[in-house]
Amino acid sequence: MPVPSNAPDGGRGGGPPRYSTVRHPLFARFYARLSRVSDTRAGVGEHRDELLAGLSGRVLELGAGNGLNFARYPHTVSEVVAIEPEPHMRRLAAEEAVQAGVPVDVVPGTAEALPVKSESFDAAVCALVLCSVGDVRRALSELHRVLRPGGELRFYEHGVAEGRPVMSAVQRGLDRTVWPRLFGGCHTARAPLSEIRGAGFEVSGFRRVLVPARGPALPYSFHVLGSARRG
Ligand SMILES: C[S@@+](CC[C@H](N)C(=O)[O-])C[C@H]1O[C@@H](n2cnc3c(N)ncnc32)[C@H](O)[C@@H]1O
């Protein structure tokens, strides 16, 4: 069970709450529409299925957005605790949770101070969220904390265009200027795979995917889909 979000210490023991609300009301409404189109027309729905295949036990989903993963969890999952800090996104996620085939609890909180107990999850899921969190290292250290030893981190993230210097320069320029302001704090030039390794996870397998698969590559096209284990 997640610790209630209004617990005085966010469930972590001592001190004031360490999570806060993220507010991107315009982006949340825009993303709610765009994400459904991307799922059906850009192949993202199939990537979500691959991301979640074979999961079992208790799962923590980070930055669940409008909850598009929920209906895709396999029945071997006993419970999903879905953390989402943005109020509009969270309302949409709660509606999706009702229709999911597995129990899903949508909980306010941020990646940097997860309101759940240590070593209490069999798996964690990050989908298109490490680009947006305020502190990637802190977020991954929190995921490491809440996973049981040997627990699995599944990730589907976009990041820097490796081996493409012009595109990666464009990405870095966008990240310094308009992109995070327009797209809910998103950054295009982060390096999710190295961040995951740097946080002490052992990457078991991954593949790089372009989204959309056809047409010119865009600053957010460079995705990595894979899994890692907590040692
Ligand atoms: C691009 S959306 C992705 C939503 C969803 N994971 C999906 O696959 O469609 C990024 C999400 O990360 C959430 N987010 C932003 N900052 C966060 C933080 N510090 N902790 C947790 N989630 C955060 C946003 O509210 C938003 O729901």
Rounding to the nearest 10 degrees, give the CA dihedral for residues 67, 73, 79, 84.
-20
| Lowest-pLDDT range of 12-26, 100-114, 172-186, 200-214 | 12-26
Mean pLDDT of 59-84: 98
- Say if residue 1's pLDDT is above 50: no
d(CA 165, CA 51): 28
Measured CA to CA, the distance from residue 10 to residue 16 in angstroms comes to 8
Confidence of residue 12 (pLDDT cuts 50, 70, 90): very low
Give the per-residue pLDDT at 19: 52
Q: Is the CB of 133 under 6 A from ligand 1?
A: yes
**If you measure from the C-alpha of residue 185 to the centroid of ligand 1, how many angstroms do you get, rounded to a whole number?**
9
Separation of CA 39 and ligand 1 centre (Å): 16
pLDDT at residue 7 greater than cutoff 70: no
Confidence of residue 11 (pLDDT cuts 50, 70, 90): very low
Distance, CA of 42 to CA of 115 (rounded, Å): 33
pTM: 0.92
205 and 150 in contact (C-beta within 8 Å)?
no
**Rounded to whole angstroms, how far apart are CA atoms 150 and 152?**
7
Give me the mean pLDDT over the 89-93 stretch: 97
